[in-house]
Homo-oligomer: A and B are copies of this chain.
Amino acid sequence: MSVTIYDLAREAGVGIGTVSRCLNNHPSVSAETRAKVLEVIKRLSYQPHASAQRLASKKTNTISAIIPFFTNYFFIQVLQGVQDKAAEFGFDLILYGVNNTSQAEYYLRRSLHRGHVDGVMFFSMKLPESYVQKFQQIRLPLVLVDAYHPEFDSISVKNLEGATMATRHLLKLGHTNIAMINASLATQPARDRMEGYRIALEEADVPFRNDRVFISEIGKQDGFNREAGRASMEDLIGKNSGKDRVTAVFIASDVQSMGALEGAAELGVRVPEDLAIVSFDDIELAQHAQLTTMRQPMYEMGVLALEKLTTRMKNPDAPPSQTTFLPSLVVRRSCGARVPSEQLV
């Protein structure tokens, strides 16, 4: 059938052990023998059998990434970082896109199959407690991205602090009637971002008002989507009249902002003249839409995630490491701050 190391060994007049050592660049092969074997490998255009290598070596050089709604721009950009770094290390990356918790668990289980992958990256979801033990038991490296658990390596962004910075920026621009458009409070980021918003307000002695938080959970991703952003904005605008009109809004994500911008345009509300906007993420589109936003270092997070995974593989017993990034304010047009145009990014 196809060429195996036995064929190579016979053809080169050496033992299979020697052939294997040649393939794996083991040092204890004489230059002469190595040359001979390499010649035969080339001549028979030998291809090692991946499954056999994996079975024998107990390494797969494969990792899996379990990502909710991976078509979301945020994940795409993180994924780009993961992908680039994986290529550099020679890992295959299995992409598991999931739409709900039960799918996520399915792929966690699948990743736990022995001999399937050497590591797992779990994105933006709460790790079910029942898997904590399993991962520890199998000692399968796991990195949480945009999530946290004390027992595992994790990478996340300071949502609360970021939201505070965003809101402070609006306060500094003179706004006091500041609303928030949020996603489902079932998600940690939404809770943290709201808390940050509240803190900034209270720092400035502006009372937090529940009726100024607009949440829509329509569509996918717990409301982190365009339709929900649009719905919330329409809701906001519909109720926005009277003396203490809202003049600014902090939106929990850029994706929602895209929808919110549509809604505002539709209803004739000008941004930033009538309504200033600051949002969160800095996806690629934010630049196009000229959104002032809190930048998350998405690509860098992806790179770091892969690095953490490889570090963990080499050193399974190191204590879990947690890295948090502080998002940074990127000022563009939507907040109404005057920016010299050459500073616009």
Contact = CB atoms under 8 A, between A and B. Distances in A.
A54 interface: yes
B288 A47 contact: no
A50 B94 contact: no
A71 to B, nearest CB: 5
Interface in A43-76: 47-52, 54-55, 60, 62, 64, 70-71, 76
A235 interface: no
A2 interface: yes
A115 B115 CA distance: 14
B51 A115 contact: yes
Given A70-B83, A95-B93, A112 B47 contact: yes
Contacts of A76: 71, 76
Contacts of A54: 51, 54-55
B77 A71 contact: yes
A83 to B, nearest CB: 5
Contact of A51 (B55, B96, B258, B285): B55
A31 interface: no
Contacts of A39: none
Contacts of A261: 288
B113 A47 contact: yes
A116 B94 CA distance: 13
Taken together, the copies of this chain in the complex come to 2
Interface string A71-101: 1000011011001100100001111110000
A7 interface: no
Nearest to A46: B114
A226 interface: yes
Nearest to A91: B94
Contacts of A47: 112-114
A87 to B, nearest CB: 7
A274 to B, nearest CB: 19
A258 B288 CA distance: 8
Given A226-B288, A288-B258, A83 B60 contact: no
Of A52, A70, A87, A114, most buried by chain B (CB within 10 Å of CB) is A114
Contacts of A115: 49-52
A49 B138 CA distance: 13
B2 A49 contact: no
Contacts of A307: none
Given A47-B112, A50-B60, 13 more contacts: A48-B113, A49-B114, A50-B115, A50-B116, A51-B55, A71-B79, A80-B97, A87-B97, A92-B94, A93-B95, A95-B95, A261-B288, A285-B285
5 contacts: A48-B113, A49-B115, A54-B55, A94-B94, A262-B288
